[in-house]
Structure formats: C-alpha cells, structure tokens
Amino acid sequence: MDLRLDVTERDGWAVLAVGGEIDVATAPRLREQLITLVNDGHHRIVVDLGSVDFLDSTGLGVLVGALKRVRTHDGDLALVCDEPRILKVFEITGLTKVFAMYGSVDQAVAAD
Amino acid sequence: MDLRLDVTERDGWAVLAVGGEIDVATAPRLREQLITLVNDGHHRIVVDLGSVDFLDSTGLGVLVGALKRVRTHDGDLALVCDEPRILKVFEITGLTKVFAMYGSVDQAVAAD
Amino acid sequence: MDEVVELELPARPDVLALARLVVGAVVAGEPLFDEERIDDLRLAVSEACTNAIEAQQGRNGDDGDQRPILVRCRLASGRVEVEVRDHGGGFDQAGLSLHPPVTDPSRLHYERGLGIPLIRMLSDSVEFRRTADGTAVIMIFEPRPLPDPKPIT
Amino acid sequence: MDEVVELELPARPDVLALARLVVGAVVAGEPLFDEERIDDLRLAVSEACTNAIEAQQGRNGDDGDQRPILVRCRLASGRVEVEVRDHGGGFDQAGLSLHPPVTDPSRLHYERGLGIPLIRMLSDSVEFRRTADGTAVIMIFEPRPLPDPKPIT
Ligand SMILES: Nc1ncnc2c1ncn2[C@@H]1O[C@H](COP(=O)(O)OP(=O)(O)O)[C@@H](O)[C@H]1O
Ligand SMILES: Nc1ncnc2c1ncn2[C@@H]1O[C@H](COP(=O)(O)OP(=O)(O)O)[C@@H](O)[C@H]1O
C-alpha cells in the first residue's frame, strides 16, 4: 500500500526514487514500473532506495529481476542506498556483490 | 509507558507539561505528580496538555481529582489544550464546563 | 483490508497502547474513515479494553485472571465492528450508578465512570453481551464523522 | 510487557505491514532489544508471514484458503519467540532447491528463495513444524545484535 514511486531523468540515466515499504503487497507495483522503464527504452536505471523504510526478499527479487532485464539490453542498474537497515538486507544476502551500490544518486550517475 | 512530565514555575503558577499518552497504564504517574505538587504547596497549577497524543477517561478522572484537590486549598487548576483530538474528549464529556481551558500557557497564567 | 483481525492480549494496562495501535492501523486502510473517526474508534476501543482488563485484574494483590482478553476487528460493508471480550465475571449494566451531571459541583466527587458514556458517544452502536464468564462489548463504527455531540448530562 | 500477544490475520499480503507493526510494538517495550534487532525481527516475521499467506493463497484465480493465519509473540526470559502458523498444506523443507550462490552469474535466474535464508540469518533459531494442515514456523530472537553475518553462499 504505502509505496511511492517517482521517475526522473539524469545524465542519460532513468532515476527511480522509491519510498515506503517494499514487501509482497507493494512489490508488484515496483516490478511493473521497472518493466515499463525498460520497455520504454531506458536501459540505464538508478533505483534510489533512500526513502525505503522496509525491504523484504520479494523486493530483492524484483531488483534482481530488473538487473537481469537491463543486462539483456547491455544496460546497467545501479542502486542508491545509505540507510543501514536497508543496506544490511543486501549485505547478509550477499547481494552487495551482485549490485553496483552507491551512497547517493550523484555518485551513481557519475560512476561509469 | 510513554508519558513525559515536566514541571516549571511561572508567575506564581506551577506549570506541568504533559506529553505522550494518558491512559490507565500511565495515569498513575500523572496523578502522583499532581498530588506531589499540591503537597509541596503548589495550589495554582497549569496542566499543559499541548503534547498529549491520547487521553482517556482515566486521564480525565485524574484531572478532575486534581481540580478537587486544589479547590480544597482555595487553589486553581487551569488546562492548556489546543489539539482538536484532545479538546474533543473534554467537549463530548461536558468537562469544558468544569475546567478553565486555555489555548496556551501564556493565556492560562495571564487569566485571573 | 476487509475481513477480520483478531488480537489476544495479556490483561494488563501496558497493552492498551498496542490495542489502539492495531485498531488504528486496521482502519487506516479504509478511505472513508478520516483521522478524527479513527481517533474516536481508538478511544472507544481503549475504554472497552480498560474495562476488560480491570474486570480481570487482581484486587487484593493477587494476580487476577491471567487469561488473555480478545480484541476482534471486523471491516465489512464499509463499517467497522470491534468486539472486546474478557473473562471478568460480567456486570449488571442496568445497575451502573447514575452520576450527577458533570456541571453539578458534586460531580467532582466522581473521578470515574466516564468510560462507558464515552463508548456510547463515540460508537454508532454498542452492545454489552454477557458471556459464560465475562463480557463481550460489541461496538459498531460508521465512517461518517459524529454529528454534533451532546454533552453528557 | 511479557507474556503472549496473539494476532489473527486474513491470509492476504496487505496485512503484512500490520504484522510488522505489531511485533515491532510488542518488542519495543523490551529495553534489551535495540532498533537494529527489532528490524531483524520485523523482517524475519514478515518473511514467515509472506510464506504463510502465499501457501494459502489461491493459485488459479480461486480465493484460496480463507482461514486466518496466526502470529503469536511471546516475551519470556528476555528473549522473543514468534510463531507463525498457516493452513497452507505444509511443505518439504528438506526438498527446498538449493540455489546457486548469489555471486554466481546464474543466480540472476532466481528472483525468489531468499525468504527462508533470511529468517535463518536473522533469528537465533528457527523450527519449521508440520501441523495437521499446514506449517508452524517458530523463531527465537535473542536481544543481542547479530554476530558478523556470513553471506549466503
Ligand atoms: N467488561 C466489564 N466487566 C466487568 N465490569 C465492567 C466492565 N465494563 C464496565 N464494568 C463496570 O461498569 C463500571 C463503569 O464503567 P466505566 O463507565 O467504564 O467507568 P469506570 O471504568 O471508570 O468505572 C465499572 O466501574 C465496572 O464496575
Ligand atoms: N509456510 C509455508 N507453507 C508452504 N510452503 C512454504 C512455506 N514456507 C516456505 N514454503 C516453500 O518454500 C519455498 C522457499 O521459501 P522462501 O525461501 O521464503 O522463498 P520464496 O517464498 O521466495 O519462494 C517457497 O517457495 C515455498 O514453496
């Protein structure tokens, strides 16, 4: 229910800012938004998790799915996350090794 | 549990600022604080409910008890409350007619 | 969210905040219930839970009845029904002493007895049902704001 | 607060936020549980509830099993035990397919299967018990922060 999605563009990246709680109730909206971006030709995507209060395994799965999708288009998916509680979920699942993770959108779009 | 009490003095009034939730779990602490004030010779008391998020009938009862107590010493008890959700509890129980109620501590200590 | 959410709680005052949190959260998903109506509901349910807990609590230093109280929230047809159940032995509702009006100076002798009147004013209907060993209070809340309240007299 | 808080919820994803809210609030009263440990608990319980709900949900457009799922929180001896029960028919825990390590490129084919590993890592112990018609997941949380976590391999 409580999920906020906001898309902007920045230096050739589509930046998807996510806010609220990502769980099995809200993840479908996130998944659809990411699929729409890719289908619209955005293959370089930054997902900004800075305002996410909760992230579960379904949310991780959606992000993995999106990464897979942009890669089939030779694209890129970068994550922005500085909240320890959210970072921890990536860390303990080992997914920090799978995703390119940054502390800010600036850093994400600058890295290349 | 979540009840904050803070006593200051102002123009001859003891000002008790209350914050948090007043229910049957927390009301005993409020009651004791008010009894202590009266026993310490403070018979003119302002209770500032400005930071109260919840007030139940037990809380109302404690305030009625305190009013009774200061009156036996020819004292005064004034309430400060501007939150509609808290004001409503006084209104529907008719207690706005029993208590002197003000929108701010300034008004309460100025009225006389 | 519709259907039923049930909460079983130890019969102790420190669970009241949790009971309010849960009923507030259950109803927060209902678009027709505004902030003020949710506050009404939280207060009425809290009063019913207080009575349930006090009915079970030990009076003379004993531990009282340790069985849990039950809060049952049902969302259906756009309205909320909350039932609070205890094992507190029940009470004679007709026998509730009638307090003098609050504006009567003698009203100041009574620091209690506002719980059930508040429940009546905040809910659209309330029923006190006697159970085998206690009370079931069934409150119904409609989504509209209260009509201009009449004070207790 | 000690003793037991029980919550019965409809088997639908939109109750997950409420389940997290309740377990968070129950444990918030425990001074030994810090913010991070409460987050661990909220996530593990949420994963267990997700599995319970998915096990009961209709796969083919039918309504699934309408019976509620149960979340039972017990605070005792300074630790928290949470049990999540469903009527989802149970599953063979030993038969869970082992995914390739996340760092393996082929791991990207798997968007699921991180729920139970997360529960294992976040709790101090977990037991999956088969019931007559479903599963009871019993998780125990100690108040200390997690030791340095090992990533899933
Ligand atoms: N669930 C209950 N079980 C037993 N007695 C109850 C219950 N609810 C209310 N009562 C009785 O009714 C009286 C009035 O209740 P209420 O209006 O809430 O005021 P208060 O609780 O402040 O006395 C209580 O003092 C109690 O004797
Ligand atoms: N309570 C349950 N009832 C039935 N099956 C379950 C239950 N919990 C887990 N499972 C099974 O175990 C599998 C793995 O669960 P999990 O690790 O949480 O990953 P995911 O739910 O993403 O598949 C699920 O897909 C499901 O088949």
pLDDT digits (tens, 9 = 90+) for C29-43: 888 999 999 999 999
Verify A-B touch: 3 or more CB pairs within 8 A: no
For residue B7, the one-letter residue type is V
Cβ separation A94–D103 shorter than 8 A: yes
Q: Residue D100 above 60 pLDDT?
A: no
Q: How confident is the model at residue D109 (pLDDT cuts 50, 70, 90)?
A: low
Place of tokens 């209907």: C125
B76 in contact with C, Cβ within 8 Å: no
Quote the longest CA-to-CA distance of chain B: 35
pLDDT digits (tens, 9 = 90+) for B12-63: 999 999 999 999 999 999 999 999 999 999 999 999 999 999 999 999 999 9
D29 in contact with C, Cβ within 8 Å: yes
Closest CA to A23 of A43, A52, A47: A52
With respect to residue D68, please indicate whether it lies within any of the assigned structural domains: yes
> Counting atoms of ligand 2 from 1, which one is nearest the CA of D111?
22
Q: Cα separations (Å) of B108 from B54, B71, B82?
A: 21, 17, 12
What is the DSSP annotation of chain D?
--EEEEEEE-SSGGGHHHHHHHHHHHHHT-TT--HHHHHHHHHHHHHHHHHHHHHHS-SSSS----SPEEEEEEEETTEEEEEEE--S----GGGPPPPPPTTSGGGGG-----HHHHHHHHSSEEEEEE-SSSEEEEEEE-SSPPPSPPPP-
Residue A79 confidence (pLDDT)? 98
Q: Are B106 and B48 in contact (CB under 8 A)?
A: no
User: What's the CATH code of the domain at C114?
Assistant: 3.30.565.10
Note the ligand closest to the C-alpha atom of D110: 2
B87-93 mean pLDDT? 94
With respect to residue C29, please indicate whether it lies within any of the assigned structural domains: yes
Residue C145 confidence (pLDDT)? 57
Pull the structure tokens for residue D14. Answer: 């939109």
A92 in contact with D, Cβ within 8 Å: yes
Cβ separation D108–A68 shorter than 8 A: yes
Residue D66 confidence (pLDDT)? 83
Residue C106 confidence (pLDDT)? 60
C54 in contact with B, Cβ within 8 Å: yes
**Cα–Cα dist C17/C11, whole Å:** 13
Verify D-A touch: 3 or more CB pairs within 8 A: yes
Q: Residue D60 above 70 pLDDT?
A: no
pLDDT digits (tens, 9 = 90+) for C40-67: 999 999 999 999 999 998 655 567 788 9
Domain count, chain C: 1
Note the ligand closest to the C-alpha atom of C88: 1
With respect to residue D150, please indicate whether it lies within any of the assigned structural domains: no
pLDDT digits (tens, 9 = 90+) for C101-131: 555 656 565 677 899 999 999 999 999 999 9
**Cα–Cα dist B19/B6, whole Å:** 9
Q: Is the CB of D116 under 6 A from ligand 2?
A: yes
**Cα–Cα dist D114/C102, whole Å:** 60
User: Given A24, A60, A97, which is nearest D50 (Cβ)?
Assistant: A24
Q: What is the mean pLDDT of chain A?
A: 95
Q: Residue D70 above 90 pLDDT?
A: yes
Q: Cα separations (Å) of C2 from A28, B48, C77, D11, D51?
A: 20, 39, 9, 11, 20
- What residues contact A28, with CB distance under 8 A and at least 6 apart? none
Q: How confident is the model at residue C78 (pLDDT cuts 50, 70, 90)?
A: confident
Q: What angle do CA D148, D150, D153 make, to 5 degrees?
A: 175
Q: Residue D11 above 60 pLDDT?
A: yes
Q: How confident is the model at residue D101 (pLDDT cuts 50, 70, 90)?
A: low
- What residues contact C67, with CB distance under 8 A and at least 6 apart? C11, C56, C87
Report which DSSP code applies to C14: G
With respect to residue C147, please indicate whether it lies within any of the assigned structural domains: no
Burial state string for D6-20 with b = 16 or more CB within 10 A and e = fewer than 16: bbbbbbbbbbbbbbb
With respect to residue D153, please indicate whether it lies within any of the assigned structural domains: no
Select from C46, C54, C127 the residue to mutate for testing ligand 1; criterion: most ligand atoms less than 8 Å from CB: C54
Residue B24 confidence (pLDDT)? 96
Domain span holding position C70? 3-141
Pull the structure tokens for residue D15. Answer: 């109750």
D26-51 mean pLDDT? 94
The fraction of chain B above a pLDDT of 90, given in percent, is 96
Q: Strands A76-80 and A100-102, how do they pair? A: parallel
Domains of chain A, start order: 3-103 (3.30.750.24)
Question: What is the complex's ipTM, to 2 decimals?
Answer: 0.85
Mutate to test the interface with B, among C15, C21, C43, C49 (most CBs of B within 10 A): C43
pLDDT digits (tens, 9 = 90+) for A30-83: 999 999 999 999 999 999 999 999 999 999 999 999 999 999 999 999 999 999
The residue among D138 and C65 whose pLDDT is bigger is D138
Let me know if A95 is exposed, middle or buried by CB neighbors in 10 A (0-12, 13-18, 19+): buried
Pull the structure tokens for residue A58. Answer: 């379904």
Residue C111 confidence (pLDDT)? 75
Residue B2 confidence (pLDDT)? 86
**Cα–Cα dist D23/D5, whole Å:** 9
Give the SS3 label for residue A8.
strand
CA of C41 to the centre of ligand 2 (A): 37
The fraction of chain D above a pLDDT of 90, given in percent, is 64
Q: What is the mean pLDDT of chain B?
A: 95
**Cα–Cα dist B42/C56, whole Å:** 37
With respect to residue C152, please indicate whether it lies within any of the assigned structural domains: no
Q: Are A81 and A101 in contact (CB under 8 A)?
A: yes
Q: Which residue's alpha carbon is nearest to atom 27 within ligand 1?
A: C91
**Cα–Cα dist A37/A97, whole Å:** 24
Residue D107 confidence (pLDDT)? 59
Q: Is the CB of C135 under 6 A from ligand 1?
A: yes
Give the SS3 label for residue A92.
helix
Taking the complete model, does pTM exceed 0.80, yes or no? yes
Give the SS3 label for residue A72.
coil
